[in-house]
Amino acid sequence: MKLATRLFVSTSLLVAAAVGGLTIAADRLLRRYLEDETARGLEREAHLVAAFLPADSARWPAFARELGVSVGQRVTFIDAKGAVRGDTEFDRASLDGLENHLLRPEVQQALSEGVGRAQRLSASTNERRLYVAVHGGPAGLAVVRVSTTLAAVDAEVGAVQRAVALAGLAALLAAGALAWLLSRGVAKPLVQLGSAAGAIAGGRPPTFPDSRVPEVAEHIVALRAMHEQLDRRFTELVREREETATLIETMADGVVAADARGAIVTLNQAARRLLGYGPSDPFPALAELFHEKAARDLVATVLAGQEAEPQELERGGRTLLVTGRALPNGGGLLVIRDVTDLRRLEAVRRDFVANVSHELKTPLTSIAGYAETLATEASPGTQTERFAQPILSNARRMHRLVDDLLDLSRIESGRWQPDPEPVDVRGLAGDAWTAFADPTCSTTPCDTRQPAAASPFRSNPRRGAWSFPSSTRARASPPSTCLASSSASTAPIPAARAKRAVPGSAWPS
């Protein structure tokens, strides 16, 4: 129901209630007042008639008729037995045919109280009349009664009721006009305000109304301010979304985002290209995007909200690294990176290292063999022994480096298997320290020999030997350059800086 209709109905109900109340009041209060005034007038007339009534009873019928004609009322004379001795509406001959009036309520009241009053339909005239009787009159007469019809009272009450009804009709018309004015002043701006709100919700430019009603004007101002704030925030959100979309589209890595149901909501061109989809090809759900078991397990883990390890898969001759992460509000994010060139370079590097290591291993073995032969056959303290020992030591160190490179290549390719064996940690540490303490490690022949520094490593007989993958892997390869001076090489390392082998580890820590 519209506001104007509600205003009209409510105002009409109020006016109808007021008119109904006035009508009832006019019918009861005004009628009672008019009847009381009429009764008092009839009582005065009855007293006058009783006072001036002649004593001759023979004249009473004629006097009643003459008096009734002159005053316009019905005058009735009643004796003590209830017989009618004179009546304005009946002649002398008809009086004997009238019924006894002693039982009439106004007559009984007049006989007992002096004045009686009653309303009823007249049995003789069949109209509603007001009867007023007074006790008195000449001898032989008991009651003088004067009556009049209530048609005049009904007419006056009806006139007032008609006036009230006309006033109510005028009030209804005024209520309709008021409702129309209020609808223009209040309802129309509210309707326009609702249209403006609908335009805001639909993304269209709104048209705000003008109103002089303070309450409506406040709502208009509030809605206009809200629209300005929403427009500003929406512009910022659109700008941020465009920037984010641009960043995602310009990424070299593929980006795939899905909601909690697994439906893909974000997909850049790199992801389409890496996964073999065209720019306009339809995309399946995230759970159906991959056929590889490892990738499908990764997607299921991410959609379940758990952390997942990156997985590599082959797609169209390319090696793709798929990384997944669960989103805070449900769903998942996948980043797809093309690592084909990286894996190719790693393979080339591994092959190169393996080939170089194999190529170096043969001459190093020969050098170590020749140097060991020279050092063994040379006399102690001779120049041959002095040159052969550094050659042998460096050849063995280079041989260990080559072995390390080969093991590293095997580890990267996944073909390396450890072969644990018990080793003497004290001996390994002493061998590693000798390379730092021996001044003969210089690449040029040394003219003087300095005494080697004592090794700071001590064995713990209670611990015994520790297990390592191999004795050669347990040795830390010393740097290829010699120490700066013999004093630096012979200085003992503080105990706090001495490296200690960790049980179960392949390298000292």
Domain residue ranges of the chain, discontinuous segments joined by +: 3-157, 251-338, 344-497
DSSP conformational letter for 498: -
Residue 299 has a pLDDT of 87
Is a pLDDT exceeding 60 seen at residue 293?
A: yes
Average of per-residue pLDDT across 112-124: 84
CATH architecture for the domain at 3-157: 2-Layer Sandwich (3.30)
Average of per-residue pLDDT across 94-108: 85
Question: What is the secondary structure of 231-242 as a DSSP string?
Answer: HHHHHHHHHHHH
Q: Pick the more confident residue, 93 or 433.
A: 93
Q: What is the mean pLDDT of the chain?
A: 78
Is a pLDDT exceeding 50 seen at residue 448?
A: no
Q: Collect contacts of 471-476 with beta carbons under 8 A, ≥24 apart.
A: 471/421, 471/423, 471/428, 472/400, 472/403, 473/403, 473/404, 473/407, 473/506, 473/507, 474/423, 474/425, 474/428, 474/501, 474/506, 474/507, 474/508, 475/400, 475/428, 475/431, 475/432, 476/432, 476/507, 476/508
Question: Half-sphere exposure (CA, 13 Å, Cβ side) for 149?
Answer: 12
157-211 pLDDT per residue, tens: 888 878 888 888 888 788 778 777 777 777 778 888 888 888 888 888 888 888 7
Q: Pick the more confident residue, 54 or 454.
A: 54
3-class secondary structure, 130: strand
Domains 3-157 and 251-338 equal at CATH topology level = yes
Q: CATH top-level class for 251-338?
A: alpha beta
376-407 pLDDT per residue, tens: 887 887 888 888 888 888 888 888 888 888 77
241-285 pLDDT per residue, tens: 899 888 888 888 889 888 888 888 888 888 888 888 888 888 788
Angle at which helices 151-182 and 3-25 cross, to 10°: 160
Q: Determine which of 70-74, 338-342, 503-507 has the lowest per-residue pLDDT on average.
A: 503-507
Average of per-residue pLDDT across 442-449: 40
258-270 pLDDT per residue, tens: 888 888 888 888 8
Residue 426 has a pLDDT of 78
Which of 289, 508, 475 is closest to 396 using CA atoms?
Answer: 475
Q: Quote the percentage of the chain above a pLDDT of 90.
A: 3
Q: Pick the more confident residue, 125 or 337.
A: 337
- Confidence band, pLDDT 50/70/90 cuts, at residue 415: low
Residue 236 has a pLDDT of 92
